[in-house]
Structure 1
Amino acid sequence: MADKTILVAGTYDTKDEELGYLAEVIRGQGGCVLTMDVSVLGDPSQPADVSKHAVAEAGGSSIRAAIDSGDENTAMQIMGAGAAAVAQELYRQGRIDGVIVLGGTMGTDLALDLCAALPVGVPKYIVSTVAFSPLMPPERIPADVQMILWAGGLYGLNTICKASLSQAAGAVLGAARAVEPPERDRPLIGMTSFGKTVLRYMVALKPALEARGFEVAVFHATGMGGRAFESLAAQGAFAAVMDFAPQEVSNHLFGGLSAGADRMTNAGRAGIPQLVAPGCYDLVDFTGWQDTPAELKGRETHAHNRLLTSALLNADERRQVAQAVCGKLAAAKAPVAVLLPAGGCNEWDRPGAPLHDGEGLAAFCDEMRAFCPENAVLHDLDCHINDAAFADKALEILDSWIASGVVKTG
């Protein structure tokens, strides 16, 4: 019996055979298929469930306008916007349980928009000739998307590309069957952090928050984790956030592993109360297996592993980070508490530790005090971010918000 429905999307004028094969595999495993044509010039061999005309209209335009633009990039952006809108509405109506999109560079560009429109937890698969390529900037990659390289499949079916296509078809159907969608039976607190070797507050905070009736989701703030955090914040998924590792703001300013320009803004826009601290604000992460970026050469660095290296910011750059953080918080529509641990902001930032810079830390703290917006309350703490006193203060502030009704527990 067919149990889950997968949206199969692509340019049916040029990839009809390959898309048909994906649908055949899904149906052969007992799944249902809903097809969406995102082509512009040609037509599929059989009408799609969602036509290219419906897609273009959902993008606020028409196929004729896409053709008349005379520009394939403009045309595909029309279709990308429409495909995202259609997919989002189909999911809202309960008509699809997952999505798979097939494409080269054009189809992949569209697929990123389509998948980004669906909530975290909805199975999303992209079969692409440029999967895992540096062509895709991190800020465009949806938080929980899956990709597989469409090897040997640029034009027509063969045994090599069928191996990729059949894996992806089985994976998206299996994911749709197995996924446990996020529950909303408890209020959710979103927290940012890194591993326990550098930031440890979550070890104390998670059980304490759960004892207060919250579910806690901790996001690894290395670019994609921040993207997921911001995506959920924009949806209003959190009762409160503990954004204690905003290093991605520093990364975005200085060319590191960015989570996008909107990092540290969506909770405030959504009216979600924010507790904020500067965990690892003083570091910029870059790809460890590449050469050190020219602007970061000559600095103290820490090779976390073969993938990731961190470079230390100087005092002037830390002041820029402070100003950027304060500017983002100034737009918040709900209470903001800033916790400023004067004893250091990561485990390598202690007296005697390899990346400690007391003058740089003092410069950052002074700038935070000078530019902290009026809508935020700044709490100077005479402790390190990994000390028990930091976690205790965060809980004290949260408890006061719960008592005053700022944060809801049910």
Structure 2
Amino acid sequence: MMSQDKTILVVGTYDTKDDELNYLCGRIVDQGGRVLTMDVSVLGDPSTPTDYSKHAVAEEGGSSIQAAIDSGDENTAMQIMAYGASLLASRLHTEGKVDGVIILGGTMGTDLALDVCQALPLGVPKYVVSTVSFSQLLPPERLAADIQMILWAGGLYGLNSVCKSSLSQAAGAVLGAARAVEKSSGDKPLIGMTSFGKTILRYMVSLKPALEDRGFEVAVFHATGMGGRAFESLAAEGRFACVMDFATQEIGNHLMGGLSAGVDRLTNAGQTATPQMVAPACYDLVDMVGWKDLPERMSHKPAHDHNRLLKSVVLDADERREVARAHAEKLATAKGATAFLMPKGGCNEWDRPGADLHDQDGLTAFVSEIEAALPDNVEYIPLECHINDPEFTAKVLQVLDRWVSDGTIKT
């Protein structure tokens, strides 16, 4: 047997899913792992005491099991438990007592599980075994950026050979992840950059090696909703020495009902006073689910079918002005150095003159609104080039070198 080297926090309602949770714990231990158990039940009790009782969970959140019972509402009661479980899981990780978490549940347990996973930092293995995994019931904004989900097939009530297949895979997955995860060394200052694929944006191709030559590590995030959430979660933790947020399309996505990265997009670097350069790549597009019909209000707009998963809809001039104002409002809250680079020649490969989605009037509308709306705390840098031109990259590096030289960026 392998040495018992990693500890997994196993969370669930041990009053109703005692057999299933104990089976899951057993599979982790059989593989050489350790477990800590957390009961998030309200009414019943487990067959044997857990490491963290339902009373401890409720009290961690400043409440009690009696208060949950007295609420007379299962939703309210479970939110009491979700709050306590999130705080407790976070504390246990901070204290170095757990290396990963796995949570079991139906809709009630999954609702709680989403809160617990969001409370843990990016890079901590977090697995949810749920009867509603991958369901449209789960809003993207509640999914932790690196959450892993496994469908709990045949697991609504009691153990059987079908659900054991899911549970045993989940046990191996979370323990394997805890053993295999490579933690950030932190030996180089980290730059967080947002972008899309090279067919539409290319600045990262030249910027990444130039930044690495300057001694930085570079992480590029795919800004299609979940990528933006991962980027923002790290920015909120203050993990970046500098932010190059050049693909801010998720702001328009959130406003127009597309692939949102959450209401806090373009705010967390500012709140942690992280130096940030911002450019509006693909501001003119809203990404929608490709296999769904477009909403009626967008059905008449020009669109680009990127693939069977993703469709990009072109915004009109008024909508672009609204997106520009949203950029300005978010950047107004920044506490650190902030520069907005505006490539007046276009902000993605599809909107170059002569390209299918080019709209000069729309671009002009966005630029004029940005220039009117940007607050005084933002350095405005207009550029007579396209975002994919070498001049854009050169200006980014010029600003970076200035910020390094004057101590704005700590290296």
- Same-fold status (TM-score > 0.5): yes
Which residue matches 2:57?
Answer: 55
Which residue matches 2:317?
Answer: 315
Which residue matches 1:176?
Answer: 178
Q: Would you say the 8 A contact 1:279–1:385 is kept in 2?
A: yes
Which residue matches 2:131?
Answer: 129
Q: Within 5 Å, give how 1:59-98 maps onto structure 2.
A: 59-98=61-100
Which residue matches 1:17?
Answer: 19
- The alpha-carbon deviation at position 58 of structure 1 amounts to 1.2
Amino acid of the structure 2 residue aligned with 1:267: A
Which residue matches 2:262?
Answer: 260
Q: Report the Cα distance in structure 2 between the residues aligned to 1:173 and 1:251, rounded to whole angstroms.
A: 36
Q: Would you say the 8 A contact 1:198–1:347 is kept in 2?
A: yes
- The alpha-carbon deviation at position 167 of structure 1 amounts to 0.2
- Residue 266 (structure 2) pairs with residue 250 (structure 1): no
Which residue matches 1:306?
Answer: 308
Amino acid of the structure 2 residue aligned with 1:385: I
Which residue matches 2:334?
Answer: 332
Amino acid of the structure 1 residue aligned with 2:153: A
Which residue matches 1:222?
Answer: 224
- The alpha-carbon deviation at position 38 of structure 1 amounts to 0.6
- Residue 357 (structure 2) pairs with residue 355 (structure 1): yes
Which residue matches 1:195?
Answer: 197
SS of 2:339's partner is strand
Which residue matches 1:44?
Answer: 46
TM-score, L = length of structure 2: 0.99
Range that drifts further, 360-369 or 293-302: 293-302
Identity %: 70
Q: Structure 2, unaligned stretches of length 5 or more?
A: none
- The alpha-carbon deviation at position 115 of structure 1 amounts to 0.7
Q: Report the Cα distance in structure 2 between the residues aligned to 1:180 and 1:75, rounded to whole angstroms.
A: 37
Aligned length: 409
Q: Report the Cα distance in structure 1 between the residues aligned to 2:297 and 2:19, rounded to whole angstroms.
A: 49
Which residue matches 1:105?
Answer: 107
Q: Report the Cα distance in structure 2 between the residues aligned to 1:335 and 1:44, rounded to whole angstroms.
A: 53
Q: Cα deviation per residue 1:341-393 (whole Å; 9 max; x = unaligned)? A: 00000000100000110000000000000011100011110000000100110
Q: Report the Cα distance in structure 2 between the residues aligned to 1:395 and 1:41, rounded to whole angstroms.
A: 60
Q: Cα deviation per residue 1:245-300 (whole Å; 9 max; x = unaligned)? A: 01000000000000111110111011111100000000001000010111111111
Q: Would you say the 8 A contact 1:222–1:248 is kept in 2?
A: yes
- The alpha-carbon deviation at position 154 of structure 1 amounts to 0.2
Q: Report the Cα distance in structure 1 between the residues aligned to 2:291 and 2:185, rounded to whole angstroms.
A: 39
Amino acid of the structure 1 residue aligned with 2:287: D
Q: Which of 379, 383, 389 is the matching residue for 1:387?
A: 389
Q: Report the Cα distance in structure 1 between the residues aligned to 2:149 and 2:167, rounded to whole angstroms.
A: 11
Cα-Cα RMSD = 0.6
Which residue matches 1:158?
Answer: 160
Amino acid of the structure 2 residue aligned with 1:330: A
- The alpha-carbon deviation at position 56 of structure 1 amounts to 0.5
Q: Report the Cα distance in structure 2 between the residues aligned to 1:182 and 1:78, rounded to whole angstroms.
A: 33
Q: Within 5 Å, give how 1:134-149 maps onto structure 2.
A: 134-149=136-151
Q: Cα deviation per residue 1:14-64 (whole Å; 9 max; x = unaligned)? A: 000000000000000010000000111111011110111111011121111
Which residue matches 2:372?
Answer: 370
Q: Report the Cα distance in structure 1 between the residues aligned to 2:66 and 2:294, rounded to whole angstroms.
A: 48
SS of 2:351's partner is coil
Which residue matches 1:241?
Answer: 243
Q: Cα deviation per residue 1:308-337 (whole Å; 9 max; x = unaligned)? A: 000000000000000000000000000110
SS of 2:397's partner is helix
Which residue matches 1:272?
Answer: 274
Q: Report the Cα distance in structure 2 between the residues aligned to 1:217 and 1:95, rounded to whole angstroms.
A: 29
Q: Cα deviation per residue 1:128-163 (whole Å; 9 max; x = unaligned)? A: 000000111111000001100000010000000000
Q: Report the Cα distance in structure 2 between the residues aligned to 1:273 and 1:99, rounded to whole angstroms.
A: 33
Which residue matches 2:292?
Answer: 290
TM-score, L = length of structure 1: 0.99
SS of 1:305's partner is coil
- The alpha-carbon deviation at position 183 of structure 1 amounts to 2.0
Amino acid of the structure 2 residue aligned with 1:103: G
- The alpha-carbon deviation at position 185 of structure 1 amounts to 1.1
Q: Report the Cα distance in structure 2 between the residues aligned to 1:242 and 1:147, rounded to whole angstroms.
A: 30
- The alpha-carbon deviation at position 70 of structure 1 amounts to 0.6
Q: Structure 1, unaligned stretches of length 5 or more?
A: none
Q: Would you say the 8 A contact 1:122–1:181 is kept in 2?
A: no
